[in-house]
Amino acid sequence: MQSIIQVSGLRKSYGNLHIIDGIDLSVLKGEVFGLLGANGAGKSTTIECILGTRKADEGNISILGMSPQKERKKLFEQVGVQFQETSYPDKIRVDELCQETGCLYKNPANYKELLRQFGLAEKEKSFVSELSGGQKQRLFIILALIPNPQVVFLDELTTGLDTKARRSVWKSLKELKEKGLTIFLTSHFMDEVEELCDRIGIIKDGQFIFCGTVSEAIVESPYEKLEEAYLWFTGEEVADNE
Amino acid sequence: MNKFFITLRTQIKLSFRGMDMIIFAICMPVVMVVLLGIIYGVKPAYDGATYSFLEQSFGAISTIAICAGGVMGLPLVISDYRQKKILKRFQVTPSSPTLLLAAQVAIYMIYSIIALVLVYLVSALFFGVNLQGSLLPFLGSFLLVMLSMFSIGMLVGGLSPNMKTASILASVLYFPMLIFSGATLPYEVMPTSLQKIADVLPLTQGIKLLKATSLGLPVENVLFPLIIMVIIAIICGGISIRFFKWE
């Protein structure tokens, strides 16, 4: 299988603080990889280093065989990114934001098609700020898909969504996965991770304390549910009992 | 350059929806020229002057939009886009955040040019203004003043850590320059002591340059303001390019 994202020996520190202390990972084509960890564990920094918006101190990173810093322009024709703090100007309409995103790429997807696919067709002329949380989140996934990417990065996919909205986002992503899209996501919700991810990596203090499939994670722990296994790995279960 | 025009079109729409620039860059100079026209009419600038008071003020009023766009609009939009991580989002595309900055600069240039044309039309059609200076030196100066003021705005927007700092700095620069540089309140009616203070403001020098070129005054009048404008553009532009914070 072809490796889409390849990271080895990634290190990043600010002063004496080691934010990331040797991370290796590889995501295969068509795989959904979930990066898990508590806030402050180094998830965001890991993603930023992989994307090249932050410079790693050490390590090799390649996406689709390209360096995100040296071949940025070529690489990001094929990579879609959805940011955690989603960023759009005030008073922009849905179609304008889609057009503005689309014009940056050589072969953008038809955004109207994507809006239809994600159930936002009737919101085309609405202001982004007037969309509900779930609609916004779906729009930001659409923006990440506009490049017609081979791989997408989705940061905290469904934070702030209600159950129904989360399910509809999951459904759409599964469809995309079936079409061969590689997905790298972060999430705080274990039900979501179980539903979507082929493999997960749990990060703590800048290192992987587990990397493998969801069922492997459960087997390795003394528990039967991913959520408990996750807390066991991260050592947060004790705090819960207090 | 298709992506530039699509970006520009969207950003112009957003700017129009914001309304601030329509008011501060388009309406305000027109109101100002009408007011000064009503107050001074065709009165000469001083006894024996070959040009009227309003003709003398033309160069000054034409900078109101430059001042609003460069020192207020530009820094605010840059720090806003940075704070919202919009600039950062452009870093993970095949394009770059400079595309967005270029579109913003273009928008404020467009506002300044629209204001210049409107101020000229209103003053020429209704108040008989007839400028003696030649067009090219005036337009060259106008462009230079624009460059210089915009580079101040780039510096403020590019280096302010957040929106709040940017908006305080922008106000501190904008309001004194708007009132005391002669852009609104004519420099000539200020007492000499106030004029001395006004001379410190960069826009005051820019206005002197525009007055001289619009009225066709001798070249020696423009040398000092010309140098000041170039120096500001180089220093502020240079620092903002070197130290611009994308996030």
Exposure string (b/e) for A101-133, b if CB count within 10 Å is 16 or more? bbbbbeebbebeebbebbebeebeeebbeebee
**CA–CA separation, A58 and A67 (whole Å):** 14
Q: Are B214 and B133 in contact (CB under 8 A)?
A: yes
Burial of A179 (0-12, 13-18, 19+ CB in 10 A): exposed
| DSSP annotation string for chain A | --EEEEEEEEEEEETTEEEEEEEEEEEETT-EEEEE--TTSSHHHHHHHHHTSS--SEEEEEETTB-TTTTHHHHTTSEEEE-SS----TT-BHHHHHHHHHTTSSS---HHHHHHHTT-GGGTTSBGGGS-HHHHHHHHHHHHHTT--SEEEESSTTTT--HHHHHHHHHHHHHHHHTT-EEEEE-S-HHHHHHH-SEEEEEETTEEEEEE-HHHHHHHSS-SSHHHHHHHHHT-HHHHH-
pLDDT at residue A237, as a whole number:
65
Helix, strand, coil percentages, rounded to 5, for chain A:
40, 25, 35
Element (H, E) at A60: strand A58-63
What ipTM did this prediction achieve? 0.87
Q: Are A171 and A203 in contact (CB under 8 A)?
A: no
**Full set of structural domains in chain A with CATH:** 30-55+66-78+150-242 (3.40.50.300), 84-147 (no CATH)
- C-alpha Rg value of chain A to the nearest Å: 18
- Hey, which residues does A101 pair with through a beta bridge? none
SS3 label, residue A237? helix
Tell me which of A87, A128, A153, A156 to substitute to probe the interface with B (most B C-beta atoms closer than 10 Å): A87
Q: What is the distance in angstroms between the Cα of B25 and the nearest Cα belonging to chain A? A: 20
**CA–CA separation, B112 and B123 (whole Å):** 16
Q: Which residues of A touch B17 (CB under 8 A)?
A: 91
**CA–CA separation, B66 and B116 (whole Å):** 9
Mind listing the pLDDT tens digit of every residue in chain B (247 residues)? Answer: 589 999 999 999 999 999 999 999 999 999 999 999 999 988 998 888 889 999 999 999 999 999 999 999 999 999 999 998 899 889 999 998 999 999 999 999 999 999 999 999 999 999 989 998 989 999 999 999 999 999 999 999 999 999 999 999 999 999 999 999 999 999 999 999 999 999 999 999 999 999 999 999 887 878 999 999 999 999 999 999 898 888 7
* Cα B73 to chain centroid, rounded: 10
| DSSP annotation string for B216-233 | T--GGGTHHHHHHHHHHH
| Lowest-pLDDT choice from A32-41, A132-141, B94-103, B210-219 | A132-141
Looking up tokens 């008011």 gives B23
Are A87 and B99 inside 8 Å of each other by CB?
no
**Closest-CA residue of chain A to B10:** A96
**CA–CA separation, B95 and B108 (whole Å):** 22
Q: Are A28 and A16 in contact (CB under 8 A)?
A: no
- Label residue A85 by pLDDT band (50, 70, 90): low
Is the dihedral angle over the CA atoms B59, B60, B62, B63 positive or is it negative? positive
Q: Which residues of B touch A100 (CB under 8 A)?
A: 6-7, 10
Strands lying side by side in the sheet with A151-154: A79-82, A151-154, A182-186, A32-36, A199-204, A207-212
pLDDT at residue A242, as a whole number:
44
Question: Which of A52, A77, A91 has the CB atom closest to B94's CB atom?
Answer: A77
Q: Tell me the angle at which helices B135-159 and B223-243 cross, rounded to the nearest 10 degrees.
A: 30
pLDDT at residue B219, as a whole number:
79
- Hey, which residues does A182 pair with through a beta bridge? A151
Q: Tell me the angle at which helices B163-180 and B74-83 cross, rounded to the nearest 10 degrees.
A: 180
Whole-number mean pLDDT of chain A? 89
Are A91 and B17 inside 8 Å of each other by CB?
yes
Tell me which of A79, A85, A103 to substitute to probe the interface with B (most B C-beta atoms closer than 10 Å): A103
* Closest to B158 (Cα-Cα) out of B74, B72, B65: B74
Q: Tell me the angle at which helices B97-127 and B2-18 cross, rounded to the nearest 10 degrees.
A: 60
Q: What is the distance in angstroms between the Cα of B95 and the nearest Cα belonging to chain A? A: 6
SS3 label, residue A182? strand
Tell me the one-letter amino acid at B135.
Answer: L
